[in-house]
Amino acid sequence: MTSRPPLLKALAALLPLVPCLTGCQPPHPAGQLVVANKSSLGSVDPADITTIGGLQLLSAVGDPLYAANAQGHLQPRLAAALPQLSAGGRIARIPLRRDVRFHDGTRFDASAMVFSLERFRALAKMGYLLDDRISGLRASGPYELELQLKRPYSALPALLSSISLTPLSPTAYRQHRTSSLPDRFVGTGPYRLVSSTPQQQTLLPFSGYWGTPARNSGIHLVTLSNSTALFGALVSGEVDVLTSSGLESDQQRALAQRAASGRLVEAIGPAGEIGYLTLLSDRAPLASPLLRRAVALSLDRPLISERVTYGIRAPLRSLVPPPLAGSAPPAWPIYNPRQARTLYRQAGYCQGQRLTLPLTFRSNVPADRLFALTWKAQLQRDLGDCVQLEISGMESTTAYRQLEKGAFPMILLDWSADYPDPDSYLAPMLGCSRSSGNRCLEGNAAAAGSFWSAPGLQAELEASESQSGGQRRELLQRIQRRAAAGAAYIPVWQVAPRAWAQPRLQRPVFDGSGRLVLQALRVR
């Protein structure tokens, strides 16, 4: 009565399926490529999109008015030239291209651009991007857009390079002027969005595209929910290209090693994300600038970068990542335990008394936890008689809620700017609308959890908005030197996007905003 023979028979019957499983993989349609990332997409409406994956998709199906190239230089895309400023820099007129059509065949013009920007202001979660700067807009001609600025803003082209501001077809979105359209996109980009689910989007080349046509026959964007699955999908050949967003450091290193041995092709884009420490400057234990400077001198960035991320995240001593203006020379000091010890001594520590510093890290970000553990060990080794870290983790959304309440004496965070300009890194951390001495009472610095400001700093930030060229660069460097002296923020590392492709593909290319140029992907 044993069931072994039937079981064995069943298994034997299944065996022939094994080679079939291997051999019967549905082939990729000729010239079409599968690109994987970790970010699932709930909506393809620019008004809803806030994630890296969403912005990556928008960059393939839409066009911005301006775009940064790989060297970081802004160039007109849908705009025909840089803005022409008048009224003391408060009016900007932007000439638009005349040869652009939307995916539905309708013509792109100034009224379509006005429609899209007004819809974005009314609907988008990131509507503040425009509201902060622009008081009004209109079509001053069939192909000329006029923007009324709240104050002169030299980084206007950079702001308008945000892919979230991509134009949408007024015909297709007529019924969705004030409501989201989460599963369709009709824009002007090199690809048409053919189908979309949160896990999968299919893009096919747009035959009426005004610019350089796509070099492949289509892109399938897929989402895999964890780092191991992403890694495995590329290694097994299931996907053609993998982006680094959401991929853990050890897997990035393994892919880099494969690329070094010719089994993959690797590309690195410009760093858009920075990791930094925020120090609570208005209460103990870090109310003293002397102590904050000592902490800044106590961070061995090269060691931590190597131990935590295998050198993938390069050390950073500026709040603005290179190559943006004002990022060089770095304003924050290099690791100097001798000088740090001197400052700790001056503050009354190291003589039988140790400073205990609470450090909070985001428990759902693996690199943050490793950073905390590594820095704790490094301090114990080098300055163990002066300072010790007391580390604790907290889920990121919970932590963000408590920043403005001054809940964290020291916390590790990251920042990705909405558009590639120094202002979009400095203002969110240093901006302060109401301050008293070195204490920010209201504004971005308070919301960011440092509560630090300095007399005249806000005025300098505002002045930098209207300046350009060398004058602006000098001012930005001065602002950063002041921030470094205040030491309420300590930059740690910069995160550059990476992509790996199968060796039969040409090396992927990133644009100046750190997004993969999907239309440039092609088989060798």
Partner 1 sequence: MSRRRHLLRYLASRLALVPLMLWLIASLVFLLLRVAPGDPIDALLGLRAPPEARAALRQQLGLDQPLLVQYGRYLGDLLHGELGTSLTNNEPVTGVIGHSLPASLELGLVALLIAAVLGLSVGFSGIARPEGKTDLAGRLYGIGTYALPPFWAAMVVQLVFAVWLGWLPVGGRFPATLMPPQGSGFYLLDSLLSGNATQLWGTLRHLVLPASTLGLLLSGVFANALRLNLRRALDSDYVEAARSRGLSERRVVLRHALPNALLPVLTITGITVASLIGGALLIEVTYSWPGVAFRLQEAISQRDYPVVQGIVVVVAALVVAVSVLVDLLVALLDPRISF
Among 179, 257, 346, 356, binds partner 1 (CB under 8 A): 179
| 37 lies in the binding site for partner 1 (CB under 8 A) | no
Distance CA 341, CA 114 (A): 58
Tell me the closest approach of the beta carbon of residue 288 to partner 1, in angstroms. Answer: 26
Strand, helix or coil for residue 498: strand
Inter-residue long-range contacts of 345-349, CB under 8 Å, 24+ positions, other chains counted: 345/386, 346/290, 347/288, 347/290, 347/291, 347/294, 349/386, 349/387
Tell me the closest approach of the beta carbon of residue 431 to partner 1, in angstroms. Answer: 8
Distance CA 385, CA 371 (A): 21
Rank residues 86 and 225 by Cβ distance to partner 1 and give the closer one.
225
Q: Which residues within the stretch 189-248 sit at the binding site for partner 1 (CB under 8 A)?
A: 195, 197-200, 202, 220, 222-226, 228-229, 231-233, 235-239
Rank residues 22 and 212 by Cβ distance to partner 1 and give the closer one.
22
Among 72, 127, 311, 337, binds partner 1 (CB under 8 A): 127
Among 89, 182, 289, 323, binds partner 1 (CB under 8 A): 182
Helix H or strand E encompassing 285: none
| 24 lies in the binding site for partner 1 (CB under 8 A) | yes
Question: Checking DSSP bridges between strand 241-243 and strand 32-37, what pairing results, if any?
Answer: parallel
Distance CA 216, CA 205 (A): 8
Distance CA 128, CA 159 (A): 12
Among 50, 351, 380, 436, binds partner 1 (CB under 8 A): 50
Tell me the closest approach of the beta carbon of residue 49 to partner 1, in angstroms. Answer: 9
Distance CA 260, CA 250 (A): 15
Distances in Å between the Cα of 358 and the Cα atoms of 284, 303, 392 are 11, 21, 8
Tell me the closest approach of the beta carbon of residue 87 to partner 1, in angstroms. Answer: 25
Tell me the closest approach of the beta carbon of residue 381 to partner 1, in angstroms. Answer: 32
DSSP 346-371: HTT-SSS--EEEEEEEETT-HHHHHH
Q: Which residues within the stretch 384-413 sit at the binding site for partner 1 (CB under 8 A)?
A: 395-398, 400-404, 413
Among 4, 174, 338, 405, binds partner 1 (CB under 8 A): 4
| 8 lies in the binding site for partner 1 (CB under 8 A) | no
Q: Which runs of consecutive H residues, i.e. helices, occur in 261-355? A: 289-297, 301-309, 337-346
Rank residues 32 and 438 by Cβ distance to partner 1 and give the closer one.
32
| 25 lies in the binding site for partner 1 (CB under 8 A) | yes
Tell me the closest approach of the beta carbon of residue 449 to partner 1, in angstroms. Answer: 9
Among 8, 9, 31, 42, binds partner 1 (CB under 8 A): 42
Among 448, 476, 495, 516, binds partner 1 (CB under 8 A): 448
Rank residues 144 and 238 by Cβ distance to partner 1 and give the closer one.
238
Using alpha carbons only, how large is the chain's radius of gyration in Å? 26
Q: Which residues within the stretch 352-391 sit at the binding site for partner 1 (CB under 8 A)?
A: 364
225-259: string of b/e by CB count within 10 Å (b at 16+)?
eebeebbebbbeeebbbbbbbbbbbebbebbbebb
By CB under 8 A, the count of residues binding partner 1 is 73
**Which residues are CB-neighbours of 323 under 8 A, at least 6 positions away?**
71, 72, 270
Tell me the closest approach of the beta carbon of residue 302 to partner 1, in angstroms. Answer: 26
| 11 lies in the binding site for partner 1 (CB under 8 A) | no
| 428 lies in the binding site for partner 1 (CB under 8 A) | yes
Among 11, 13, 22, 437, binds partner 1 (CB under 8 A): 22
Cβ-contact 42, 250 below 8 angstroms: no
| 345 lies in the binding site for partner 1 (CB under 8 A) | no
| 84 lies in the binding site for partner 1 (CB under 8 A) | no
Tell me the closest approach of the beta carbon of residue 158 to partner 1, in angstroms. Answer: 16
| 453 lies in the binding site for partner 1 (CB under 8 A) | no
Rank residues 431 and 508 by Cβ distance to partner 1 and give the closer one.
431
Rank residues 269 and 443 by Cβ distance to partner 1 and give the closer one.
443
Among 99, 104, 132, 390, binds partner 1 (CB under 8 A): 132
Distance CA 293, CA 482 (A): 12
Distances in Å between the Cα of 471 and the Cα atoms of 82, 326, 460, 466, 476 are 20, 10, 12, 10, 9
Q: Which runs of consecutive H residues, i.e. helices, occur in 178-282? A: 227-235, 249-260
Q: Which residues within the stretch 237-296 sit at the binding site for partner 1 (CB under 8 A)?
A: 237-239
**Residue type at 345 in one-letter notation:** R
